[in-house]
Amino acid sequence: MDLIIGAGISGLSYAAATSHDYLIVEAEEQIGGYCKTIYKDGFVWDYSGHFFHFQHPELRDYVMQHISPNEMFTVQKHTQILYKDRHVDFPFQMNIHQLEQQEFIDCLYDLFTIPEGAPSDTFKQMLYAKFGRGIAEKFLIPYNTKLYATDLDRLDVDAMGRFFPYADREQIVRNFRHPEGKSYNATFLYPKQGCIRIVNSVASHVDKDRVSLGERILFVDPVSHTAVTNRHTLHYDRLVSTIPLPKLFDVCNQPYDKEVYTWNKVLVFNLGFDAKGPERTNCWMYIPENKYLFYRVGFYDNIIPQDRMSLYVEIGFAKDQPVGDIDTLLQRTLDDLHIAGIVTDQHLVAEHHVIMDPAYVHITRRSEADKEAKMQLLEQSDIYSIGRYGAWKYCSLEDNMHDAFTLAERLK
């Protein structure tokens, strides 16, 4: 029997594809993990904005098997940066010509005078080496530091993988005259009923009787292939874990260096207002300045057309940083939304918040090497760790499905 820990998209995708007998054990009372959707006072909110760019048509078709096309919006992506009270198209590096003249000259000069052989070993060094001081210090460093809540020198040069919008000098200059679409991935999909609709589509391939909700794995003995939960002791042939990798080490009683595995956590406020706000085109906005609490604000009402403003607001924290009092943070968020001009005379009528912990893992050279070695060792005991947090990586829901299906095929 395959024991699957977690009924997020990874655990469900593995169950949907495996040819073995299986049981999913999920600590919460609901499936979906981070892809849950909240319905409140007529608003539809995810844990945080979850939007989909399928790279593999076969995975999109798999998801769409159980979703009718009129349940899914295809949205033209428009995203901007709130930079010193000015709106600049994202990605910043491609749109420096939209800055005030002196700032544009600074960015352009620095881009063309990057010192030969500038070091590029860390994420921060790479930002300087590829884009020059102006672009790095005006947007890329402050924004990503606010998001990751760590010094970017700690992160691996490839910490964001394919999600980092690279651009070379020629592309940047060409974009002054001929914009290459507003940014990479020009459209995305979003279900009318929110992200959980995609999870439910995958879950329709899973036997409900083999999903145990409200059951938490407490301890795993890799030698005897036994797992202890808050209800049972279970024997397994293979364990497929989708919980965060350091948590898996904990339940397996496997020692690891806690300094190697760090991450940020994100407080998300979902906010519903009584009327539309002034922002009519952006799907979401990036906010690099520290004077604002949040690093990103999304506009659900510009994604699913509706006549009331519906926002998600994301605030980054270091993993051990106390979040503090939620009511105080909500008031400060509302104040900052007013200062930023996102809220004017609209009134808040509904609110939901959630802390995603972990949210973005810190991919470092050490974490990559340690992870590889420890995952190989776990596999020798028939333990496989997958998912965004199980595989300790930066990825999308589609990547989670792909990895889960690949593992099911490998273990056939």
Ligand X SMILES: Cc1cc2nc3c(=O)[nH]c(=O)nc-3n(C[C@H](O)[C@H](O)[C@H](O)COP(=O)(O)OP(=O)(O)OC[C@H]3O[C@@H](n4cnc5c(N)ncnc54)[C@H](O)[C@@H]3O)c2cc1C
Find the shortest distance in angstroms from Cβ 26 to ligand X.
5
Find the shortest distance in angstroms from Cβ 345 to ligand X.
29
Q: Is 361 helix (H, G, I), strand (E, B) or coil?
A: strand
Nearest to 291 by CA among 342, 337, 253, 323: 337
- Other C-beta atoms lying within 10 Å of the C-beta of residue 161: 12
- Other C-beta atoms lying within 10 Å of the C-beta of residue 217: 23
Find the shortest distance in angstroms from Cβ 264 to ligand X.
9
Q: Yes or no: say if 53 and 185 are a contact pair by the CB < 8 Å rule.
A: yes
Q: How far apart are CA 197 and CA 64, in angstroms?
A: 10
Find the shortest distance in angstroms from Cβ 391 to ligand X.
8
Find the shortest distance in angstroms from Cβ 9 to ligand X.
4
Q: How far apart are CA 105 and CA 110, in angstroms?
A: 8
Is 264 or 346 the residue whose CB approaches ligand X more closely?
264
Give the type of residue at 19. S
Nearest to 182 by CA among 49, 79, 56: 79
Nearest to 242 by CA among 140, 74, 392: 392
Find the shortest distance in angstroms from Cβ 215 to ligand X.
7
Find the shortest distance in angstroms from Cβ 176 to ligand X.
29
Is 5 or 88 the residue whose CB approaches ligand X more closely?
5
Is 82 or 202 the residue whose CB approaches ligand X more closely?
202
Residue 30: both structure tokens together: 């609901």
- Other C-beta atoms lying within 10 Å of the C-beta of residue 157: 19
Is 63 or 111 the residue whose CB approaches ligand X more closely?
63
Is 49 or 272 the residue whose CB approaches ligand X more closely?
49
Find the shortest distance in angstroms from Cβ 361 to ligand X.
10
Q: Is 393 helix (H, G, I), strand (E, B) or coil?
A: coil
Find the shortest distance in angstroms from Cβ 314 to ligand X.
6
Is 96 or 202 the residue whose CB approaches ligand X more closely?
202
Residue 4: both structure tokens together: 């699957």
Find the residue with minimal CB distance to ligand X. 33
Q: Yes or no: say if 97 and 104 are a contact pair by the CB < 8 Å rule.
A: yes
Residue 54: both structure tokens together: 């399928």
Distance of CA 303 to the CA centre of its chain: 18
Is 132 or 244 the residue whose CB approaches ligand X more closely?
244
Give the type of residue at 235. H
Is 23 or 172 the residue whose CB approaches ligand X more closely?
23
Q: For residue 314, what is the enclosing H or E element?
A: strand 310-318
Distance of CA 80 to the CA centre of its chain: 18
List contacts with ligand X (CB under 6 A).
5-11, 25-28, 33-35, 48-52, 216-217, 242-243, 266, 356, 359, 387-389, 395-398, 400
Is 123 or 295 the residue whose CB approaches ligand X more closely?
295
Residue 156: both structure tokens together: 């691996």
Q: Is 105 helix (H, G, I), strand (E, B) or coil?
A: helix
